[in-house]
Amino acid sequence: MQVITSKDNDVIKNIRKLKDKKYREIENKYIIEGIKLIEEAIEENAKIDTVVVCEDCVQNKTIEPKLLYEIAKYNCVYVSEKVFNVVTEVTNPQGILAVVEKENKESQINYNEDVIVVLDGIQDPGNLGTILRTVDSVGLHQIIVSKQTADAYNPKVVRSTMGAIYRVKVIVSEDLVKTLKEIKKHKYKVLATSLDEADMIYDVDYEKKVIVIGNEANGVSSEILEIADQKIKIPMLGKTESLNASVATSVILYEYVRRKFKK
């Protein structure tokens, strides 16, 4: 077994470049890390380009033989612990990561789903990852994000999706107002979250609806509020005025789930 021991190795340099959004877009690839994410990538038939394994983790039996057998089917490289620490972004890495090709489905909106979630400038990678995970949990398969939203293939986002990144299509809109107007032509109504005068989330139906979640600091942009068919809010009984964007998304989507069960 050949082990890469130099951080200047071409394979390692190319993987390190993928930490930068610009290179992820050029190469159409992203990094996943950890045993669970790689197991899910295999299970979901993700397009795995390269698997990188820390030699020490094999010797210490940190990685189960079954997974080692599965990754051997792919382009698999082994590296020293020193080199692995150069490519990892995790404080306590599990000694395995992979480069995965993006699915080229970003531009096609599925108009057969009851609800379409749209993110207007979400900045925090943790929020974005959690929202993707929530969208997956309620049985939806796509999400639309503005170009100002954090990159869905940022390693932190990918880790926080807990595998949802393989199942939820991420559609990047260059012009969110234009995209929403196009969606409305397919008989969808746009619901924009707002802290101002708005209907409670319990007083609206969730059939053929677009739910727009706004930026953590500024909320939904005024341009989108102008074209929204309805403004909605989560009622607050305490002194807190608003919820974290990912928490708010979860509350709204699980009201949608409650309605589905009620039917």
10-43 pLDDT tens trace: 999 999 999 999 999 999 999 999 999 999 999 9
Contacts of the segment 15-21: beta carbons below 8 A, 24+ positions apart: 15/50, 15/52, 15/87, 15/97, 15/99, 16/86, 16/87, 18/99, 19/89, 19/155, 21/151, 21/153, 21/154
- Closest to 31 measured CA to CA, from 40, 41, 18: 18
- For the stretch 229-262, pLDDT in tens is 999 999 988 888 778 999 999 999 999 999 888 7
Instruction: Give the per-residue pLDDT at 153.
Output: 95
- For the stretch 166-215, pLDDT in tens is 999 999 999 999 999 999 999 999 999 998 888 999 999 999 999 999 99
Instruction: Give the per-residue pLDDT at 67.
Output: 92
Instruction: Give the per-residue pLDDT at 106.
Output: 54
Phi, psi of 230 (to 5 degrees): -160, 145
- Closest to 253 measured CA to CA, from 98, 160, 114, 120: 114
pTM exceeds 0.85, yes or no:
yes
CA 205 centroid distance within chain: 26
Q: CA-to-CA distance for 234 and 251, rounded, in angstroms?
A: 8
Instruction: Give the per-residue pLDDT at 62.
Output: 81
Instruction: Give the per-residue pLDDT at 197.
Output: 80
Query: In the structure encoding, which two tokens stand for residue 66, read together?
Result: 């079954």
- Please report, for the chain, the start and end positions of each structural domain, with discontinuous segments joined by +: 3-101, 115-262
* Terminal Cα distance for the chain, rounded: 58
Q: CA-to-CA distance for 172 and 176, rounded, in angstroms?
A: 9
- For the stretch 131-147, pLDDT in tens is 999 999 999 999 999 99
DSSP H or E segment with residue 187? none
What does the chain come to in residues?
263
Q: Does domain 3-101 have CATH number 3.30.1330.30?
A: yes
Query: Is the distance from CB of 97 to CB of 90 less than 8 angstroms?
Result: no
Instruction: Give the per-residue pLDDT at 105.
Output: 56
Instruction: Give the per-residue pLDDT at 249.
Output: 97
Q: CA-to-CA distance for 131 and 9, rounded, in angstroms?
A: 36
Instruction: Give the per-residue pLDDT at 58.
Output: 76
Query: Is the distance from CB of 54 to CB of 22 less than 8 angstroms?
Result: no
Cα separation values, 164 from 135, 157, 233, Å: 8, 10, 26
DSSP H or E segment with residue 162? none
Q: Which amino acid belongs to residue 146?
A: S
* Coil/strand/helix, residue 186: coil
More confident residue, 195 or 98: 98
**How many other C-beta atoms are found inside a 10 Å radius of the C-beta of residue 118?**
25
**Helical H runs in 72-141?**
81-87, 125-137
- Residues 6+ positions from 210 with CB-CB distance below 8 Å: 115, 116, 117, 118, 180, 183, 184, 188, 189, 190, 191
Q: Quick one: fold of 115-262?
A: Alpha/beta knot (3.40.1280)
pLDDT above 80 for 263: no
